[in-house]
Structure 1
Amino acid sequence: MARTRICSALMVALAPALIGAPACAREEQSYNFDLPSQELGESLRAVAAQSGWQLYAPADAVKARRAPALRGRLSVQDAVNQLLAGTGLTARFADRTVIVRTGDSADSADSAVSNDPAIVVTGSRIPGAVVASVVTRVDREAIKAAGQTDLGEAVRALPQNFSGGQNPGVGTGAGQINTNVNSASNVNLRGLGPDATLTLLNGHRLPYDSAFGGVDISAIPVAALDRIEVVADGASAIYGSDAVAGVVNVILRRDYDGVATSAQFGASTDGGNVRGQFDLVAGTRWSHGGLIAAYDFARNSAIAAKDRDYTSPLDGANSLYPEQRRHALTLAGHHELAPGISLSFDALYANRHSITTGGTAAARYVFAPDAETYSISPELSVALGSDWTMRVLGTWGRDRTHYDTRFSPAGSIETRTTGCYCNSAWSAEVNAEGPLFALGGGDARMAMGAGYRNNGMAFSRVIGAAAPDAFDVAQGSTYGFAEINLPFVTAANAISGVRRLSVTAAARYESYPGIAKLATPRIGIVYAPLEDITLKASWARSFKAPTLFQQYVGHQAYLLPGASVGATGTVLYTSGGNPGLKPERARSWQAGAVFEPGAVPGLRVEASYFDVRYTDRVVQPIAGSIAAAFNNPGFATLIGFDPAAGTLAGIIAGAQFGLQNFSGQAYSPDAVTALVDNRYTNVAAQKIRGVDVRARWQTALSADRNLALEVAGSWLDSKQQLTAALPQTLLSGQVFNPPRMRARSGVTYQSPRFAGSMFTNYTGALRDARFAQAARLRPQVTFDLALRYDLIAKATPDAEPPLALSLTVNNLGNARPGRIAVTGPTDTPFDSTNYSAIGRFIAIGVARRW
């Protein structure tokens, strides 16, 4: 009864809002604007830049239009409306986004927005929807202001991201999940693995990179970028597999007119890493479309152990950072074929060659992979009428890492290992989005669709003249999804205590033949009790399909004497791939708040708490001694006593090299007393929780001088349980895992001809408990400096400088990694997943707008 009374009271309180009560007066955040009369596009971009809002305005809508002078203290809404007055254009405002379109009413503007493939909302299929999770946005200007030249550098600086997994600086001895296969840069949110973070390009999937299910984000030129959006929350209901830790969406520039080039040359002051980088971006616009192309070239020398005095006893010739050469090209275009029908595409090509030296003087190896990736994603958008839009889209791509390793033992014959991690991907989808019915805060909108996705992998490994280890398989999946956005309360019908209230719900059904059929729901709520405060919460289930490498890489079968593990008879031990794997599953929820006080213009503070329960994780659980596993009851589920002869025969028959007998006696199934199955298996569980905080304050010091301060941090508590009978082990704060605390803060200053920024990076303390005597690594603090001076002044505040010089100094104080104990002579003697051997890096650059 009490619950019924509470619900009834709540409905009575909200009823005026839900049925469309008159709008209440609202105090909106305002800014000091002082813009001259100029091109409309320039004025709109200036308003967006000063307020930190996103702007969408097609070139053909604002081309050749003049804007009046804009002066005074105004809200973003009032500023944009003044600029658009008398133009016939309308604007829609949602979630700090300005959407400008033609039309005489809000309805026609919404229709145009719905039909525009450029309107990308990460975390939702509905354009203009307010996402119930915190969205971190990093745009091209912020990346350039920080002195970063590739997207790998940019994402490694994010506190939510872990630099382990597949990244170019990862050394040896950090475990199988932290392996540098081809010097690509994979995003690894929360440290859950590159395969648990979904990386998209303009909302489209890309082919996987090498063996671990990630995507090389550094293959996309910064010059082509508009922004990166990160939603560190479960999103399988929207995107399907892999979106467990979250989604990273790389969004390209929509329109560009002209040609611009830039180049940078620098080196590490301790030696090595001599790097040159060049990029070019060119684009053109026409009345009904546009095309942009961007090319990036980068090359750096290696950092050898002899260049650093903290790497003993590692052999001086060993690489701490690989030699690399990279070419990357991106194309994107769009064209309105007819009223309401538009075609767009994005395409990517990248090639990377790297060289890593390892081993010892007595047994040297040189690892020299070539990685090539290419993809194309076309999309056709058709306005169906009544503000509904249909899209037909697809993706086709390849990613091939051809590796070549030469092993040269002193006084012996060189052995060469070659092969390929050759990934393929293609997909096709049709979807529709539009309004269902009217609510007090606007139209309830729905997105729905269905599609097919296929991933393939052709793996090969040939060692000398030995028989190859190879497979060539593909896995397809069909899916359907639906999402609804219910804006109960917005500015149009706000009441006291309810300035905004919206609910989103999504569900996805996906079928992987022979593996599983899964349904993943997601629900979110956005509630603003006051104009200054917005509360967000979401709950979701997500999944990750097992990788093809985990399923099909060859498994081994070894027959061992039982006495070696404290057993009788013989023991069969197997490890490697497992075709019987099932999807990993996760439940996540997140709650946060956004604070934008009207009393402090330009300030935005976001904080969120997240909690993830990740089960059925695929691992090879026995990492140490097999004998120790026999003595530990926690591994009892992995040891089968008195195994059936048919089970043994199946494992032996499928083994890559058949039965490898080290027992000293002939094989007899009757003599096998135990089967130890250490193949990849769904057995581990992780619990992850933490807090993300981000704050930014931007203010105008004068009409043409701006100052911005920002700080972002992430606190992480991550635990893992290998089997249900084993205790939990702490991951966060341990070596080769994310620290419990990461933070980055900075200050940026801009004037008509000078821009400068200083950033501070904090990596929390780590504990090394791998040995009897545990060790503690102290926190590390580094400082990055970036300066730019325009030799020729910009025509407008938001334009690119015609000619500019830049200076970048990363790790200004030359902070060095803390040393750790090693298990062998080839191990990197520091935690290369959290610290870098690059040290202080100084570079000068020049940029030219032609």
Structure 2
Amino acid sequence: MFAALLLPATGAAFAQETQDEQATTDTPQARTLDRVTVTGSLIPQTEIETFTPVTVISAEDIQMRGFTGLSEVLQQSSYQTGGLQGGQTSASFTQGAEAAGMFGLDPGYTKYLINGRPMANYPALYNGSDTFNNISGIPIDLVERIEILPGGQSSLYGSDAIAGVVNVILKKDLDHGVLTVRGGAFSEGGGSSVRFSLADSFSAMDGRLNVLAGVQYETRDPIWGYQRDLTDKYNNVGYTPATASRDYLVYGYSDIANQGFGNYGYVFADPNDCANVTGQFGGTEGLQNRPGFGEYCGSFITPGYRTIRNGKDSGQLYTHATFDVSNSFQLYGDLLYSYESVENATGSNYTWWGTGAKYGYYYDPDFDALLNLQRAFSPEDIGGAGYRDIMNTDRSNSYMLTLGGNGIFGDSNWEYDVGLTRTEYKLTERSWVRWADPIDDYFTENVLGPQLGMDPYFGAYPVFQPDYAAFYTPMSPVDFASFTGYATTESKTWDNMLRAQVTNSELFSLPGGNAGLAVVVEGGNQGWDYSPDPRLIEDPVTLESEVWGQTSVSGSGHRSRYAVTGELRMPLLEPLTVTLSGRYDAFDVASNTTDKPTYSIGLEYRPVQSLLFRGKYGTAFRAPTLSDVFQGISGYYSSVTDYYRCWDEQGYAPGNTDDCTYDSSQFFGQQSGNPDLEPIEADVWNAGVVWAPTSTLSMSVDYYSWDIENEVDLQSAEQLALLEYFCRTGQADMNSQACQAATTWIVRGATGAIETIYTPKVNVAQQKLEAVTASLNWVVDIGRFGSLAFAGNYTNNLEHTVRPLPDSPDIDLLRDPYYMWIYDAYAKTRADASVAWNLGKWTTTLYANRIGKTPNYLAYLNRTFDYEHSSGEKAGWWKPYTTYNMSVNYTPIETLQFSLMANNVFNDMPDHQANNHPGTTGTPYNNYFYNTYGRAIYFEARYKFGASN
């Protein structure tokens, strides 16, 4: 017990909140002083370690390791072995949000709680389809601790708890008021931030009323790609020569009269050889040549005009209050309000116009060719501050309000807690857009000219004789503004929950101690509404919206829900305890009810006090989310490798399609919800051992297994295209369900090109996952030199396979490099470790975070680790990647503390990956896992009001 209570100040630990801290020895509450509540159990108990592993990250851990927010804490957790979309992944559906997950499972498979109550879901959808939690709006300075509970936990927490549970405990009491000021910046530039927080507690009415109130405000500048060497230009150390952006490009099929559909390549039609546009992109635009394709006008520095970390302004207000009505009854209330304004720029890759979106191709009789125009917009076209003037902004307001009461029934052992929680999350997305008709009209009037009929070969493509000199000409900011603007999308989620719990920790006696029982009843309703700007909704006939090259997700719905949970803890013998739990959840949508029972059995065996063997078996589930059910048919524009045409027409097999004409084929995609979806089901179990040979040393090892079935999967366009290739080439059974789906959902036009891909949500996928985790905590007294505290955590995903369709082969997400990228990337192992040295008024902490090896880019392209490019670069693995944080805390007097923190102290960048990327990319590293932020320096001052010096 002593070791567990000591370790939170030194690293990961396992101590939990003591119940009824204000109870006195002459009140009924006094008998609970020796019991603690452990996340993963509803019953207070004397044991810290139970059958359920719990990792606790204390406020001291967060501060000493230099973490700047809750998302950074969880994204650097050893459990985070999967890649994430966010501020680095330009133009993602939720670029303004911050997500985290566990064991490489989707972020929505982790249940997030604040003070034990479910967080509000983010209104926008991760990857355009998945419900998840944005964890950036929680005031980090007001966090008491974070409890991470890995493994399936649905028998206690219901839906979404397949990967695990994260419970964020906010402060409930302070001995003294605290003012904290932190400021920092990155040594490479950008990302400067300032944060203020103020919190205090007070009591009134003879100590019966106790209130804590706190506020936090933070402002942060964005980091731009041009502020980092690795992202300010196209890759100039790749296995192919650096290739400039195709800012003014004419491309297509020439000589179609003699060559059928023609030869693909670039057509350079500028009579001035790019001389008119040399002032674009800061004077870097010029005549370029891509071997094998042809000439065009481009620049090498355009990747820098995007943000790789969002700018943000945020503020939170939090208050916790209790009022003791009597010695056996207490009222309580919590309010957490958060405001955020997040801005980002997607860059010139997503700021362009072309003829392909409207026409596919046009026919130019002067070249006897089917052609397309493509033109990027430069900062000079935009005018003013350039891309800073057309940033996207996501503004959100959210709150969580809980009101309730707890107490004891008379002189009995029965305790009760009844509370009502209301959460609401409102999001306004202000997105920069190009208006479809105005932008097409502008280029028709100034470049294309009038349509001159249809092509003489296919009768399918319009005929134009463009003014190419006008095409290769800058435009004025006034012209740019004439066809651009902003679209505003409003969305929200809400959840009402009434929860009642009764608990008896001394239900009856057994040889090993008192049995405990807890019963919980919940009921409520929840809703989701995503209402995009009407101009973003595509026409059902033309499949086009009023916004050029962009559509949006839409949907709205609500449901009621209720649940009953029971937990029984039985110390059968002094060394053996068995815990049973069961839960029944039901969701009512209109006249349909989706329900699911879950259960678990946990075992604890202590042959000696210092050794614990533990295990649990149970079931878990995830109910269809509101977006799964109510998401309307919505479209999106994207590109995919057309594996079948690459093979059939040009002889390129999957994994070797770099030079294929169809390596990046544009298509219009459609996706939708499905009201007939069933719950995702999972069988889960874990087993492990905890050993604490001394009061200052403890270690644990745990094994986890998931077997997930009936999984809701939004089909991947890239995956469908690859499956279609296998089916059409006879490598898969064309009559199978998988092949029938792939060939139906991919629609090709008269020329054989992919036109549309339908990627619906269906209950077809399966996942199997096995992982092992380990932790170590050790405090060493070194006499007059103070003390050292060591902490470490390690996760190794042993197996992880996915079967996207019932009769498709299993995909090995840990060993197939192609799918390790397609599924947002995976690292097989992840670890973190820290050592803190305390000496009098000084505490110094060194923290290391390690990402295990991941497949390099050539391995992804070729689906093998046995490949060597002509440049000498080899397919294989990127080596493990470790970054270090360091902090120094000095407390000259009790009321004042100064802290100096350096994150990524050695300024390590993922530049070792650039050699293995081609010269055509401006992101020559795996941006789902790694970042190019570099070293950050923070200074913090903390002052305690009213404390003695």
Query: How does the TM-score come out when normalised to structure 1?
Result: 0.77
Amino acid at match of 2:121: Y
Amino acid at match of 2:835: V
Q: Deviation at 1:704? A: 9.5
Matched, 1:452 2:452: no
Matched, 1:333 2:333: no
Could you tell me whether the CA contact under 8 Å between 2:178 and 2:944 is conserved in 1?
yes
Aligned to 1:692: 773
Could you tell me whether the CA contact under 8 Å between 2:220 and 2:312 is conserved in 1?
yes
Could you tell me whether the CA contact under 8 Å between 1:134 and 1:231 is conserved in 2?
yes
Aligned to 1:14: none
Cα distance per residue 1:82-122 (max 9 Å; x no partner): xxxxxxxxxxxxxxxxxxx5249xx86445788xxxx6421
Aligned to 2:861: 771
Cα distance per residue 1:570-612 (max 9 Å; x no partner): xx996322222221111111001111013xx400101101111
Specify whether residues 397 and 548 from structure 1 end up closer, same or farther in structure 2 by C-alpha distance, changes over 3 A only.
same
Could you tell me whether the CA contact under 8 Å between 1:320 and 1:828 is conserved in 2?
no
User: Which of 25, 44, 47 is 1:102 aligned to?
Assistant: 25
Unmatched 5+ residue regions in structure 2?
235-301, 352-375, 378-386, 440-474, 539-551, 637-641, 649-667, 868-874
Matched, 1:523 2:442: no
Cα distance per residue 1:452-480 (max 9 Å; x no partner): 13221110112647578643211221211
**How many Å separate the matches in 1 of 2:635 and 2:844?**
60
Specify whether residues 47 and 730 from structure 1 end up closer, same or farther in structure 2 by C-alpha distance, changes over 3 A only.
closer
Q: Deviation at 1:638? A: 5.1
Matched, 1:709 2:809: no
SS of 1:358 mapped into structure 2: coil
Aligned to 1:149: 68
Could you tell me whether the CA contact under 8 Å between 1:113 and 1:127 is conserved in 2?
no
Cα distance per residue 1:499-518 (max 9 Å; x no partner): x2111010001112325221
Could you tell me whether the CA contact under 8 Å between 1:187 and 1:214 is conserved in 2?
no
SS of 2:532 mapped into structure 1: strand
**How many Å separate the matches in 1 of 2:214 and 2:600?**
37
Specify whether residues 661 and 812 from structure 1 end up closer, same or farther in structure 2 by C-alpha distance, changes over 3 A only.
closer
**How many Å separate the matches in 2 of 1:661 and 1:784?**
51
Specify whether residues 48 and 814 from structure 1 end up closer, same or farther in structure 2 by C-alpha distance, changes over 3 A only.
closer
SS of 1:771 mapped into structure 2: helix
**How many Å separate the matches in 1 of 2:15 and 2:563?**
34
Specify whether residues 533 and 282 from structure 1 end up closer, same or farther in structure 2 by C-alpha distance, changes over 3 A only.
same
Q: Deviation at 1:450? A: 1.6
Could you tell me whether the CA contact under 8 Å between 2:155 and 2:618 is conserved in 1?
yes
Amino acid at match of 2:941: V
Aligned to 1:758: 846
Amino acid at match of 2:144: D
Could you tell me whether the CA contact under 8 Å between 2:19 and 2:32 is conserved in 1?
no
As a proportion of its length, which structure holds more strand?
1
Amino acid at match of 1:548: L
**How many Å separate the matches in 2 of 1:228 and 1:573?**
40
Aligned to 2:630: 552
Higher alpha-carbon deviation: 481-490 or 281-290: 281-290
Q: Deviation at 1:271? A: 1.3
Q: Deviation at 1:150? A: 2.0
Q: Deviation at 1:401? A: 1.9
Specify whether residues 749 and 661 from structure 1 end up closer, same or farther in structure 2 by C-alpha distance, changes over 3 A only.
closer
**How many Å separate the matches in 2 of 1:685 and 1:47?**
39
Q: Deviation at 1:259? A: 1.3
**How many Å separate the matches in 1 of 2:704 and 2:719?**
36
1:221-370 pair list within 5 angstroms: 221-286=139-204, 287-311=207-231, 312-313=233-234, 315-360=303-348, 362-363=376-377, 366-370=391-395
Could you tell me whether the CA contact under 8 Å between 2:20 and 2:29 is conserved in 1?
no
Aligned to 1:158: 77
**How many Å separate the matches in 1 of 2:103 and 2:89?**
20
Aligned to 1:387: 413
Amino acid at match of 2:844: G
Could you tell me whether the CA contact under 8 Å between 1:334 and 1:345 is conserved in 2?
yes
Q: Deviation at 1:628? A: 4.9
SS of 1:354 mapped into structure 2: strand
Q: Deviation at 1:808? A: 0.5
Could you tell me whether the CA contact under 8 Å between 1:221 and 1:294 is conserved in 2?
no
Aligned to 1:56: 18
Cα distance per residue 1:240-267 (max 9 Å; x no partner): 0000000111112232233111111111
Amino acid at match of 1:348: L
Specify whether residues 414 and 538 from structure 1 end up closer, same or farther in structure 2 by C-alpha distance, changes over 3 A only.
same
Aligned to 1:848: 943
Q: Deviation at 1:132? A: 1.1
**How many Å separate the matches in 1 of 2:742 and 2:791?**
62
Amino acid at match of 1:707: L
**How many Å separate the matches in 2 of 1:180 and 1:687?**
27
Cα distance per residue 1:770-800 (max 9 Å; x no partner): 41364532211111101111132x2xxxxxx
Matched, 1:182 2:96: yes
Aligned to 1:75: none
SS of 2:304 mapped into structure 1: coil
Amino acid at match of 1:294: G
Could you tell me whether the CA contact under 8 Å between 1:48 and 1:54 is conserved in 2?
no
Unmatched 5+ residue regions in structure 1?
1-28, 32-43, 62-100, 491-499, 652-659, 666-674, 795-801
Q: Deviation at 1:170? A: 3.9
Aligned to 1:478: 562
**How many Å separate the matches in 1 of 2:905 and 2:832?**
15
Higher alpha-carbon deviation: 217-226 or 752-761: 217-226
Q: Deviation at 1:147? A: 2.0
User: Which of 798, 805, 811 is 1:729 aligned to?
Assistant: 811
Could you tell me whether the CA contact under 8 Å between 1:164 and 1:170 is conserved in 2?
no
Could you tell me whether the CA contact under 8 Å between 1:381 and 1:389 is conserved in 2?
yes
SS of 1:596 mapped into structure 2: strand
Specify whether residues 634 and 186 from structure 1 end up closer, same or farther in structure 2 by C-alpha distance, changes over 3 A only.
farther
Matched, 1:612 2:706: yes
Q: Deviation at 1:30? A: 7.6
Rg larger for: 2
Specify whether residues 404 and 126 from structure 1 end up closer, same or farther in structure 2 by C-alpha distance, changes over 3 A only.
same
Q: Deviation at 1:55? A: 5.9
Specify whether residues 335 and 703 from structure 1 end up closer, same or farther in structure 2 by C-alpha distance, changes over 3 A only.
farther
**How many Å separate the matches in 2 of 1:226 and 1:334?**
17
Specify whether residues 691 and 470 from structure 1 end up closer, same or farther in structure 2 by C-alpha distance, changes over 3 A only.
closer
Aligned to 2:926: 831
Amino acid at match of 1:296: Q
**How many Å separate the matches in 2 of 1:585 and 1:764?**
30
SS of 1:155 mapped into structure 2: helix
SS of 1:298 mapped into structure 2: strand
Specify whether residues 715 and 280 from structure 1 end up closer, same or farther in structure 2 by C-alpha distance, changes over 3 A only.
same
**How many Å separate the matches in 2 of 1:642 and 1:588?**
31
Aligned to 2:245: none
**How many Å separate the matches in 1 of 2:625 and 2:681?**
14
**How many Å separate the matches in 2 of 1:298 and 1:536?**
43
Amino acid at match of 1:759: Y
Matched, 1:218 2:206: no
Aligned to 2:577: 502
**How many Å separate the matches in 2 of 1:305 and 1:589?**
44
Q: Deviation at 1:54? A: 4.6
**How many Å separate the matches in 2 of 1:221 and 1:785?**
22
**How many Å separate the matches in 1 of 2:634 and 2:314?**
36
RMSD: 3.6
Specify whether residues 637 and 455 from structure 1 end up closer, same or farther in structure 2 by C-alpha distance, changes over 3 A only.
farther
**How many Å separate the matches in 1 of 2:427 and 2:192?**
25
Amino acid at match of 1:338: S
SS of 1:152 mapped into structure 2: helix
Could you tell me whether the CA contact under 8 Å between 1:203 and 1:249 is conserved in 2?
yes
Aligned to 1:208: 121
Could you tell me whether the CA contact under 8 Å between 1:609 and 1:689 is conserved in 2?
yes
Specify whether residues 823 and 325 from structure 1 end up closer, same or farther in structure 2 by C-alpha distance, changes over 3 A only.
farther
Amino acid at match of 1:122: T
Amino acid at match of 1:507: G
